[in-house]
Amino acid sequence: MLTPRKWCFECCIKCLGGIPYASLIATILLYAGVALFCGCGHEALSGTVNILQTYFEMARTAGDTLDVFTMIDIFKYVIYGIAAAFFVYGILLMVEGFFTTGAIKDLYGDFKITTCGRCVSAWFIMLTYLFMLAWLGVTAFTSLPVYMYFNLWTICRNTTLVEGANLCLDLRQFGIVTIGEEKKICTVSENFLRMCESTELNMTFHLFIVALAGAGAAVIAMVHYLMVLSANWAYVKDACRMQKYEDIKSKEEQELHDIHSTRSKERLNAYT
């Protein structure tokens, strides 16, 4: 007879053995990457607005004109959507991992592979592959502000190393403003010196770097998910074949048993 302590210990071992650790690691990596990208990206965009308004003396245009500030607001809403969507998607992938690895096998009896289960696994593989490509695009896009802030940080650094250097940064070369607008800042201006001395520029630059690292972590998580889902798909496929084999074997054994029973009855009738 099992003692309560031993029974509890065996239940814990069964629960730990049913956890899909590969999916759990990928989910943690995905949540960490999305959190870094969304949180740091949102704050970096807010810091960019302050820098443009304070040091480049840019103002929001009236009306429905699509300017850089409107684009930044759109990017913020996109960040909100990304955070919510991948929070739900991570939960769905974890649930799929639990079901595929048979974590509920001991609770509900024999594990049965259905056609719907195979279709769901294939659907998750395709969807994860598309999300991986999307995150690759997000990573490439996030590298653009990192490059721009690196140039600005380099100009600030060069002015302190080279005396008398007159360097300028024109926002038109980055496509932030139109060609007709001249929004540039030079090293001899007071705004440039105040911007280089402020902590806001350094903080925004490093926030974009962390956001880029978060996007890269999300890409790694998507690749990890692809490997896990592919392995789960192979498991489901093999389990389906084994299930068909067991059904055919059981059917053949039943037929042999019926034939043997029929022959035994015929022999018994012939003897009597």
**How much is the average pLDDT of 17-38?**
87
CA pseudo-torsion sign 70, 76, 82, 88: negative
Task: With H, G, I as helix, E, B as strand and everything else as coil, classify residue 176.
Answer: coil
Residues above pLDDT 90, as percent of the chain: 31
pLDDT of residue 245: 60
d(CA 35, CA 92) in angstroms, rounded, equals 18
- Can you give the pTM of this predicted structure? 0.78
Is the per-residue pLDDT at 238 higher than 90? no
CB 138 within 8 A of CB 212: no
Residues above pLDDT 70, as percent of the chain: 71
CB 207 within 8 A of CB 42: no
**How much is the average pLDDT of 10-36?**
81
**How much is the average pLDDT of 212-227?**
94
**How much is the average pLDDT of 223-236?**
83
Extract the tokens encoding 103. Answer: 């974590």
pLDDT of residue 55: 83
